[in-house]
Structure 1
Amino acid sequence: MSVKSKTVTTVLGPVSADELGVVSIHEALLSVVPGAEYAFDIAIDRAEIFETLAEKLKDFRAHGGGTIVDSTGMFHGRDVRMYEALSRTTGVHIVASTGQGPEEMLGGYFLTPQTNPPTPWPAEKFADLFTKEITEGMVVPRVERRGLAGLVATAATRTGMTATDESLLRGAARTALATGVAVSVRYGADAVHDLDIVLDEKLPADRVVVGGLDRKDAVAAGAPAKVAARGACIALDHVGTEDAEHITDAERAALVADLVQAGLGERILLSSGATGVAKGHPADDLRYSHVLTAFVPLLKAQGLGGDDVRRMLVANPRDLLAMR
């Protein structure tokens, strides 16, 4: 079956993988720190949030964008019904995600099940939780299941993978094997180690994208090339962020050029990790169009051509997201 005949699950149902257009692979629409919805000093006005997100999505579309992947997973503000309305209003495809992590962001129910002594959830329980969101619909708390997730997104603890993190990653890999979706991994301390945990579940490497590979520690360790050499996709997903933790956009562009020169262009994905609306934490307040308006010119200045750019923004994410 060709990629063109495959489908991707969006919040409005399956669409042809070939209709996604330019894809931003690691973004956040509404991001709410768990518990912030109950804080006395935080207002969550859904109408206001909708208008803010609609404007940003329309801007993305106006600059040539086609698909936003909301890779926040479960319990961080995901609003399935709002995302459906946003997609209809703006014409932007939205791929929502299931998944959880890192451990510190899990609710107690997932950390201390009723066992004595308490033990981490096993991978099969996480796999069952994530799989149902892909095959039966994403949970709308206390109401229903609605819409299907099109990606399983996980994250490991920054200081190093915990036992619960390992269960999360293995559960995500088993979900991908059972359903045909891809896995997004935000690595913790060691990108190659975390990828190897997922691959140990016999998931093909090209069904995995490892994010955060424009962090300074990842670049210093040569992780982007090492992950790509294993056959996984690499996400430089903080384009526009220039701080103590990440390389600059100029350095990102040079890194992309080096990877393309090394024959790894088919593994590269780009995104800004922008947050449309944040509650309970500071927003990464970049436009979803930043890659298109500010970063693509830097890539072309590095000597990359239109085909190289289209491969990273259209073909590579299309191939990753297509159900198999």
Structure 2
Amino acid sequence: MSVESNTVNTVLGPVPAEELGVVSVHEALLSVVPGAEHAFDITIDRAEIFEVLAAKLKDFHEHGGGTIVDSTGMFHGRDVPLYATLSRTSGVHIVASTGQGPDAMLGGYFLTPQTNPPTPWPADRFADLFAREVTDGMVVPRVERRGGAGIVATSATREGMTATDESLLRGAARAALTTGVAVSFRHGSDAVQELDVVLDEKLEAGRVAVGGLDREDAVAAGAPLAVARRGAYAVLDHVGTEDGAHISDAERAALAAQLVRAGHGDRVLLSCGATGVAKGHPGNDVPYSHLLTTFVPLLEAQGLSDEDTRRILVDNPRDLLSGR
């Protein structure tokens, strides 16, 4: 069973892709370092978390936002029942993701310990794990399964793609092929090489979003243009972050405009990479609405038209997320 054409799996069930509105494609709602929930100095108060996230989502909605994609995957705090309540309360569609990675964030369960040294799961095992979360529903502890994931999200290791990373990327691509959802991955050290691994599985480039392309090293390597030329989506997903490791918002706007003028306006996606609530690690406390309140005017200052902006914020994510 696959996702129906032109619909998107949200935490409240499938919705027509045309109803998504403005989409922020690489965000985190509740982000918990695996195991942090057991730490003596960390409190997981779901009522408090709900209030914080509801306020941030309502703010996003009030400024014109329609959909948040939570791209944290399976084991980083994903709380499907909480997200369903948040969606009903805020009016924002929430697309939750399956997937995991990079290598260092996987537990030993996802290695084959009978080998020396242990080897990663084969791609087909990851593919089956991810595909079931799309078709049968996302796993919820003590409940079993709820609604289906809307996208497969993974990451590659920053220092360079490992064997496990490659298995994850191939598994994500195979899950996408069998279910009709798209793949979103944050690149490690070489976005083009990692994209080529995904495309080697015969997944159409237009079903792949490559994140982290507003990192200084990615821009210096020409990765945004190279990814767009291959037909995949180039995601500038740290809008609002100015930390030295990423380009500034002014530079992001100029880069987006450069991609549009090069004929790749249909391959640009934007997001803040914001963390609604973080546990066990520092969060990125940029408001989800920053994309609309602060960054869109910078795009306009670069000469992008309303049509260009709508294509980037509405049309492109709708096409990526639509079931095939």
The equivalent residue for 2:301 is 301
Give the match for residue 233 of structure 2.
233
Q: 1:323 aligns to what?
A: 323
Amino acid at match of 1:263: G
| 2:182 equivalent in structure 1 | 182
**How do 1:98-247 and structure 2 match up within 5 A?**
98-111=98-111, 113-117=112-116, 118-247=118-247
* Mapped partners of 2:187, 2:24: distance in 1: 19
> What secondary structure, in the 3-state scheme, does the structure 2 residue paired with 1:9 have?
strand
Partners of 2:184 and 2:6 in 1: CA distance: 19
Residue aligning to 1:61:
61
CA distances 1:182-238 after superposition (whole Å, capped 9, x unpaired): 000111000000000000000000000000000001100110000000000010000
User: Residue in 1 aligned with 2:40?
Assistant: 40
Q: Distance in 2 between matches of 1:120 and 1:26?
A: 26
CA deviation string 1:70-92 (max 9, x = no partner): 00001100000000100111110
Normalised to the residue count of structure 1, the TM-score between the two structures is 0.97
3-state SS of the aligned residue for 1:26?
strand
Q: Distance in 1 between matches of 2:212 and 2:115?
A: 36
CA distance in 1: counterparts of 2:88 and 2:27, whole angstroms:
19
1:120 and 1:236 map into 2 onto residues whose CA distance is 30
SS at match of 1:96: strand
Please give the TM-score of this superposition, normalised by the length of structure 2: 0.97
The within-5 A match list for 1:6-45 is 6-45=6-45
- Structure-2 residue corresponding to 1:51: 51
Report the more deviating stretch, 251-260 or 115-124: 115-124
Does 2:248 align with 1:248?
yes
State the identity as a percent.
76
**Native 8 Å contact 1:5 1:17 kept in 2:** no
Deviations 1:89-145 (A, max 9, x none): 11100000000100000011013x342332210000000000000000111123311
Aligned equivalents of 1:44, 1:216: Cα separation in 2: 34
The alignment's C-alpha RMSD in Å is 1.0
Structure 1 runs (4+) deviating above 4 angstroms are none
Stretches of structure 2 lacking an aligned partner (at least 5 in a row): none
- Are 1:154 and 1:185, in contact at CA under 8 Å, matched by a contact in 2? yes
How many pairs align? 320
> Is the 8 Å Cα contact of residues 69 and 96 (structure 1) preserved in structure 2?
yes
| Helix, strand or coil at the partner of 2:263 | coil
Q: 1:139-159: CA deviations, max 9, x gaps?
A: 112331111100000100000
Contact 2:5 2:322 in 1 (8 A): no
Moved more, 140-149 or 117-126: 140-149
8 Å Cα contact 1:5/1:16 also seen in 2: no
Is contact 1:213-1:235 (8 Å) kept?
yes
My pick for the range that moved more, 113-122 or 243-252, is: 113-122
Name the residue aligned to 1:310: 310
- The code of the aligned residue for 1:83 comes to Y
1:250-278 CA-partner distances (Å, limit 9, x unpaired): 00011111111100000000000000000
- 1:5 offset after TM fit, Å? 6.8
Separation of aligned partners in 2, 1:80 and 1:143: 11
